[in-house]
Amino acid sequence: MRTRWNSFGSASERARDIFWRYVVAHKTTFGGIALILLLSLLPLVWFKGDYLLYAGDINFPLSGTEFFHNSWHVWSANLLGRPTPMDVPNLVPYGLLAMGCDSLGFSAVAIEKIVYCLSFALCGLSMYLLTSTLVVGKRGHMIALIAAIFYMLNLNALLDLQPIPYFFYASLPLVLALFAKGIQGGRGVGYVLLMCLIWLLACTQAYTTVTFALLTWGFMLSYLCLYLITADSRQKRVRAIKFTSVAAVVWVSLNAFWILSVVLSEGDIVSAASLESAGQSWEDHFRMHSSSILDSMRLLGSWALDEGFGGDPYFPWGSMYSTAVFLAVTVLAPILAFIPLLSKRGRDRNILFFSLVALCGVFLIKGPHPPFGGLSTWFFRETYLYVPLRMVYEKIAPFVVLSYAFLIGCSVVLCYEYAKGRLAKAFLDGKFQRLTRIITGTFAATVVVILVGVYAYPLWTGRVAYPAGQVLPSAHTRIPDYYYEAAAFVNEQSEDFRILSLPMPTASACAYWWNEGADGCSAWSDPTTWLFSKPVVNSGTAGHGVAGFAASQLVEGTSANGDAAKVLALLNVKYVLVHDDMNWKVIEGHPYWPDAVSADAYETILGSENGFALERTFGELDLYRNTSWEPLHVYACRTVSLANGDAEAILSMLDSADSSVVETAFFCSEESDSAQLRFAEEPAACNGNGGFPSVSFRKSDSTKYRVDVTNATEPFFLVFSESYHPQWKAYVNSQGGDTNWIEAFFQGTIPAERHSMVNGYANAWYIDPQELGVGSEFTITLYYRPQSLFFVGCVISGLTFAGCIGYVLWDWRRKRAES
Amino acid sequence: MMEARPLCKSVVLLLRRWIGWIGQAAVTLTVVPVLLFLIIVVVAVMLWQEPRLSVGVGIAVLLPTAIALMLGQKGLAEVLAISAYLFLVVGVVLLLVRHILEQHRGVKE
């Protein structure tokens, strides 16, 4: 027994000894990492108590679990329902991280703090790894440390500080470091798998914007090209190409879960990216988001830096960068970045590569500005690059910053070495070496402090979080309690309905004024979306015009016959939520809120309009109930009406309709083709001539509904109140079963010509039980089929993931056994 | 005869003037391009021999750019920044080409 304890004790001592010896041997590396980790706590300075950072582009998800759940489905029930294949990459890593923290009981503020600190740490560590991979030598660690700190603390980080897209910026050097190490060292399959796994876990979130994935690959392939050109043997070239090919295959397989959904939903993505909807030509957009070559080189290219709203600047510290001192400091970065080219190391492959990337990046960012502005415009137009790179500064700046960080790290150390050696020798004849070292060291440290301290000072002082202005509220946000009370009231109701929020913007945005702006909210994402478990119709964005039309109809008060209530009933809207806490200084006259009127005006309108009754008031929120509403998510229609024109033609028909619009389908001649309209005239049941079917449904998730139909002896229309999309499919099961995601590929659906748009937005299927041969009782599964593609992608990714882990472990054990 | 002399004189004068113009044009059309060509060749050879010169000029031009900015001369600063950028591009491209050629030469040797 004693022997065992002794051997255990000696083993532990030996392990401790080995560990400390390792730490001492790598003390510079550990020191650098410790400093980076310490700096990664800096985001804590930006927070104020339990206030969220939530403003402008910083749209932090208020519920991690909800965020994960939404990303898991390629159809969102919000608004009137919309395809969301682009949200799938959110699953990794942020979705998993947020859900994990949420289930551990962390608050949204705590999760936001964790995310910022983690992304900051990732940013510094990955740049440190990249630089120490590429620079080998005596001062390698010092170069890596300066590069890492500059990469964490610079103007681009300051201008584009959004927690979720920040993951791309943070993990970009990591990906390049692993890739460069792989092709230089001619690593094997095990390393490729490990690299792709790390890449997947660190960076996937950013690919909600596919351009970032393409740019990352473009960046790595450029590095590969340079490597192939400059490699000194054919064997090295072949190994590098093999490594890249295997990496590409593994990466595609691991990322299949989002690639499949995204590639096959290309049409939805292109229409979402359409600039025409914003009423702006691409040339205007291109000019607005690019900047002069001077500003591009100084990393001050964001259009919003000198802009503001209603007298409040978007960046309150922006004016500081127009003062003489800061003007000089901002030119310091490009000067330092190109100094390494002057040294003998200037012919080093990596220095040349990053210099070229920086110059190419600056050229892209400058867009139509001189020099060669016409060439740039022609290039962007002819290559269609203006579609993926329509916000060119946000997309390209990370590559310029990465290059600058690497080059500046090299530059500071080279200047220090030069001053310490050559200059001291020339002027002091090699005397006072200690003093020379102190002076040059102090000078180098001052340059670094100016670069990372002065250059991006709002990151240190916390001014990066917007303080309250006269018009724009503070970025520190605390949602008032009455929002939670309203959410609790709505969420406890079991029925399936929507809530219409007023005043309604035409695009996704919100502007609230809480506590005199000290904790207000002005962002692209309305927090009510996260609080209410029922879908909130809070914007009339492209494709959901009928909601905006209903809202404007309410304001105009076109008639007092309850038309607005009927239209909203067709949208399955049970409640109208009127905000009395709007930021009127922002929304008055703003093009996003053309129909906004005050809460008092809404009170008058809704009070005089038939069909609305004030249900409850929660602080500054009034909740009106739509008395025309009946559960209309999935129903069989009683009557069919054909409106000549578009969705607005429904309004004139509602005037002449009966008092109730329940179980009515309105076809619009402009939104259906002749084959679809043919069925509008056929079903006898719809016109009350035959037995009427009874319909009940169960929602599995936002992409799948099981509908049980009984007493269906005659043809009828099944209406489904989600936005029309041709990929919504209806599967008929005579045995009463359900269609699962695999069967969805093979099982027949109701033909496309029997699927049409009704009520200006919803789906409807013409069902003829006799023709289908299903009897009077059967089940219909309504399914958004792209969800199956997502699951197929998940299977491919899961199998590849398991294979990678298995191979890496097996390879590790084999090598261990061999050694 | 009396009438022919002034005519000859004027023809001679005219010819002389034409020859002068042609000569001048010939000199202008040959010497200037030759000079320009020589300057370009000399600069190109210089830059080819030492591409860092172009980078150095680019960096050096960034210094007056900062001063112009501080003095509020935004237009001048833009022009200087453009020229600095072009010098840097030329320098980097030449450095890269030389690096590639040297690598290949090294491999062959």
**A contacts of B58 (beta carbons < 8 Å):** 338
Q: Provide the ipTM.
A: 0.86
Residue A512, classified by CB atoms within 10 Å of its CB into exposed (0-12), middle (13-18) or buried (19+), is buried
Q: Of B85, B95, B107, which has the smallest distance from its Cβ to A347's Cβ?
A: B95
Q: Of B52, B62, B81, which has the smallest distance from its Cβ to A341's Cβ?
A: B52
Touching B: A residues 339-358, CB under 8 Å: 339, 341-342, 346-347, 349, 352, 355-356
Assign A125 to helix, strand or coil. Answer: helix
**B contacts of A338 (beta carbons < 8 Å):** 55, 58-59, 88
Each residue's pLDDT tens digit, A8-39 = 567 788 888 888 888 888 888 899 999 999 99
Task: Determine the residue among B53, B92, B94, B104 to mutate to test chain A binding: the one whose Cβ has the most chain A Cβ atoms within 10 Å.
Answer: B92
**B contacts of A370 (beta carbons < 8 Å):** 78, 82
The whole-angstrom separation of Cα A114 and Cα A262 is 29
Alpha carbon separation from A815 to A43, A97, A239, B23 (Å, rounded): 42, 33, 21, 84
The nearest alpha carbon in chain A to B56 belongs to A342
Each residue's pLDDT tens digit, A514-530 = 888 777 677 777 888 88
pTM of the entire predicted model? 0.88
DSSP single-letter state for residue A180: H
Reported confidence tier of residue A560, pLDDT bands at 50, 70, 90: very low
Instruction: Please state the three-class secondary structure of chain B as a single string.
Output: CCCHHHHHHHHHHHHHHHHHHHHHHHHHHHHHHHHHHHHHHHHHHHHHHCCHHHHHHHHHHHHHHHHHHHCCCHHHHHHHHHHHHHHHHHHHHHHHHHHHHHHHHHHHC
Reported confidence tier of residue A265, pLDDT bands at 50, 70, 90: confident
The whole-angstrom separation of Cα A362 and Cα A338 is 13
Q: Which of A491, A488, A339 has the alpha carbon at shortest distance from A417?
A: A339
Res A322: pLDDT: 86
Each residue's pLDDT tens digit, A477-512 = 888 999 999 999 999 998 889 998 888 888 888 888
Main-chain dihedrals φ then ψ at residue A705, nearest 5 degrees: -130, 135
Q: Which of A86, A59, A74 has the alpha carbon at shortest distance from A211?
A: A86
**A contacts of B102 (beta carbons < 8 Å):** 347
The whole-angstrom separation of Cα A807 and Cα A527 is 44
Instruction: Please state the three-class secondary structure of A681-746 as a single string.
Output: CCCCHHHCCCCCCEEEEEEEECCEEEEEEECCCCCEEEEEEEECCCCEEEEEECCCCCCCCCHHHH
Cross-chain residue pair A338–B95, CB shorter than 8 Å: no
| Stretch (H or E) spanning A642 | strand A639-643
DSSP single-letter state for residue A58: B
Residue A699, classified by CB atoms within 10 Å of its CB into exposed (0-12), middle (13-18) or buried (19+), is middle
Residue A408, classified by CB atoms within 10 Å of its CB into exposed (0-12), middle (13-18) or buried (19+), is buried
Assign A68 to helix, strand or coil. Answer: helix
Average pLDDT, chain A: 85
Q: Is the peptide bond before A693 cis (omega within 30 degrees of 0)?
A: no
Cross-chain residue pair A229–B103, CB shorter than 8 Å: yes
CB of A225 within 8 Å of any CB in chain B?
Answer: no
DSSP single-letter state for residue A370: S
Highest mean pLDDT among A177-191, A402-416, A752-766, B37-51: A402-416
Question: Would you list which residues of chain B are within 8 Å, Cβ to Cβ, of chain A?
Answer: 52, 55-56, 58-59, 62-63, 65-66, 69-70, 77-78, 81-82, 85-86, 88-89, 91-93, 95-96, 98-100, 102-103, 106-107
Pairing between β-strand A82-83 and β-strand A75-76 as defined by DSSP bridges? antiparallel
The whole-angstrom separation of Cα A625 and Cα A607 is 11
* Cα end-to-end span (Å), chain A: 31
Q: Which of A677, A689, A676, A696 has the alpha carbon at shortest distance from A635?
A: A696
Each residue's pLDDT tens digit, A290-305 = 999 999 999 988 888 8
Packing angle, helices A210-230 and A392-418, rounded to 10:
40
A700 Cβ contact list (under 8 Å, min separation 6): A706
Res A1: pLDDT: 44
CA atoms within 13 A on the CB side of B69: 24
Q: Is pLDDT above 80 for A361?
A: yes
Cross-chain residue pair A356–B96, CB shorter than 8 Å: yes
Each residue's pLDDT tens digit, A681-708 = 665 545 555 567 888 999 899 999 999 9
Q: Of B66, B78, B93, which has the smallest distance from its Cβ to A292's Cβ?
A: B78
Tokens standing for residue A429: 């004849």
Q: Which percentage of chain B shows pLDDT scores above 90? A: 36
Q: Is pLDDT above 70 for A471?
A: yes
The whole-angstrom separation of Cα A97 and Cα A106 is 11
Q: Is pLDDT above 60 for A561?
A: no
What's the average model confidence in pLDDT over B66-95? 92
Size of interface A-B (CB pairs under 8 A): 81
A772 Cβ contact list (under 8 Å, min separation 6): A732, A734, A778
Higher pLDDT, residue A354 or A524: A354
A626 contacts A491 by C-beta, under 8 angstroms: no
The whole-angstrom separation of Cα A660 and Cα A805 is 60
Task: Determine the residue among A298, A336, A341 to mutate to test chain B binding: the one whose Cβ has the most chain B Cβ atoms within 10 Å.
Answer: A341
Res A35: pLDDT: 95
Q: Vertex A71, ends A696 and A483: CA angle to 5°?
A: 75
**A contacts of B106 (beta carbons < 8 Å):** 232
Q: Is pLDDT above 60 for A660?
A: no
